[in-house]
């Protein structure tokens, strides 16, 4: 969407070439700003939500707190630096401010947008068997984790009907690894009386292939939890390029060894990006 600033008394939104939307925006102030923003949102989304590029969508959001010209410039700078809309709203405050002259209030607004998107995605896979809404689960994990700049290890705890009991980030690490404590996974599962778990972690490197350390850690956790009657449904690796599933890759085929397990013997394992 391109904003074309012209003087005038009324703001109008027009459909340009190839369905793109352009705004003829006057100088406005005070209460007119909120009204103009609402009109722009309504008309732009009515034209076609999917037709909005990442830069267009970001510029439209930034217009809530500034002029169309300023918002477009900031959106261009931010997309140039972070490449995607998701990466912009997931970036750290200092990263955003180093890329564009943007005030703290607007950064907070972008944080709210991300929180709202994550909340909506999570609700899509809540209060129903997770294994029956797998695509929605993947969409939620991608929304929550794909644009994180450091690795995080997340566990989803499920009841006997495979409905989500709790969704917890257990550890955060660095850009290429995070520690995992098998005994903490087991203890939390027992505390919640979980019947099954799904593990997930992200690769900020943008390559979703599991590393050797990921495979070894998953094998260790599986041996422990399944010896206690808790199923490991999957371990999912998330990145901006996509995801990989240990279950779909055949890495969870076959029965675990169920060797005699002493939780005290298991030291933290580092998951590393491939």
Q: What is the pLDDT of residues 26-85, one digit of tens each?
A: 444 445 555 666 666 676 667 666 667 888 888 888 887 777 778 888 999 999 988 888
Contacts 24+ apart (CB under 8 A), 231-234: 231/195, 231/196, 231/197, 232/196, 232/197, 232/198, 232/199, 233/130, 233/131, 233/158, 233/162, 233/196, 233/197, 233/198, 234/198, 234/199
User: What confidence tier does 261 reach under pLDDT thresholds 50, 70, 90?
Assistant: very low
Instruction: Check pLDDT > 60 for residue 12.
Output: no
Residues above pLDDT 90, as percent of the chain: 31
Q: Please answer whether residues 25 and 68 qualify as being in contact, where contact means their C-beta atoms are separated by less than 8 angstroms.
A: yes
Tell me the three state secondary structure of residue 170.
strand
Query: What is the bridge-based pairing of β-strands 152-158 and 196-202?
Result: antiparallel
Dist CA 15 CA 109 (whole Å): 28
Instruction: Provide the CATH number for the domain formed by 128-272 in this structure.
Output: 3.40.140.10
Q: What is the pLDDT of residue 203?
A: 92
Which residue has 């005994």 as its token pair? 183
Dist CA 144 CA 117 (whole Å): 9
Which residue has 């169309």 as its token pair? 68
Dist CA 60 CA 110 (whole Å): 12
Query: What is the bridge-based pairing of β-strands 12-15 and 21-25?
Result: antiparallel
Dist CA 97 CA 110 (whole Å): 13
Please give the full DSSP string across 77-99, using - where no structure is assigned. Answer: HHHHHHSSHHHHHHS-HHHHHHH
Residue 63: other Cβ atoms inside 10 A: 25
Name the least confident of 6-10, 57-61, 130-134, 136-140.
Answer: 6-10
Whose CA is closest to 202, among 249, 156, 142? Answer: 142
DSSP 65: G
Across all residues in the chain, what is the average pLDDT?
78
Q: What is the pLDDT of residue 256?
A: 62
Dist CA 152 CA 50 (whole Å): 30
Domain edges within the chain: 2-118, 128-272
Q: Please answer whether residues 244 and 202 qualify as being in contact, where contact means their C-beta atoms are separated by less than 8 angstroms.
A: no
Give residue-wise pLDDT tens across range 193-210.
Answer: 999 999 999 998 878 889
Which residue has 């200092």 as its token pair? 94
List of E strands, the chain: 2-5, 12-15, 21-25, 152-158, 164-172, 177-180, 196-202, 231-239, 242-245, 269-272
Q: What is the pTM of this model?
A: 0.66
């Amino acid at each position: 969407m391109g904003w074309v600033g012209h003087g005038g008394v009324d703001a109008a939104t027009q459909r340009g070439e190839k369905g793109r939307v352009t705004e003829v925006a006057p100088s406005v102030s005070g209460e007119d700003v909120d009204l103009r923003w609402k009109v722009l949102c309504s008309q732009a989304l009515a034209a076609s939500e999917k037709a909005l590029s990442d830069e267009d969508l970001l510029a439209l959001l930034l217009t809530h707190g500034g002029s169309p010209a300023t918002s477009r410039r900031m959106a261009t700078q931010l997309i140039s630096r972070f490449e995607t809309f998701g990466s912009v709203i997931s970036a750290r405050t200092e990263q955003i401010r180093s890329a564009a002259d943007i005030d703290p209030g607007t950064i907070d607004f972008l944080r709210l947008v991300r929180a709202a998107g994550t909340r909506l995605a999570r609700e899509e896979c809540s209060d129903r068997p997770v294994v029956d809404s797998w695509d929605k689960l993947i969409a939620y994990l991608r929304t929550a984790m794909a644009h994180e700049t450091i690795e995080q290890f997340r566990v989803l705890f499920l009841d006997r009907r495979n409905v989500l009991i709790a969704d917890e980030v257990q550890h955060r690490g660095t850009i290429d690894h995070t520690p995992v404590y098998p005994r903490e996974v087991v203890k939390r599962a027992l505390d919640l009386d979980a019947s099954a778990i799904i593990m997930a972690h992200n690769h900020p490197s943008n390559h979703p292939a599991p590393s050797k350390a990921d495979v070894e850690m998953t094998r260790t956790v599986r041996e422990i939890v399944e010896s206690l009657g808790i199923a490991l449904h999957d371990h999912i690796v998330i990145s901006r390029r996509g995801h990989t599933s240990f279950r779909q890759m055949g890495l969870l085929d076959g029965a675990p060894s169920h060797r005699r397990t002493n939780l005290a013997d298991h030291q933290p394992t580092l998951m590393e990006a491939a």
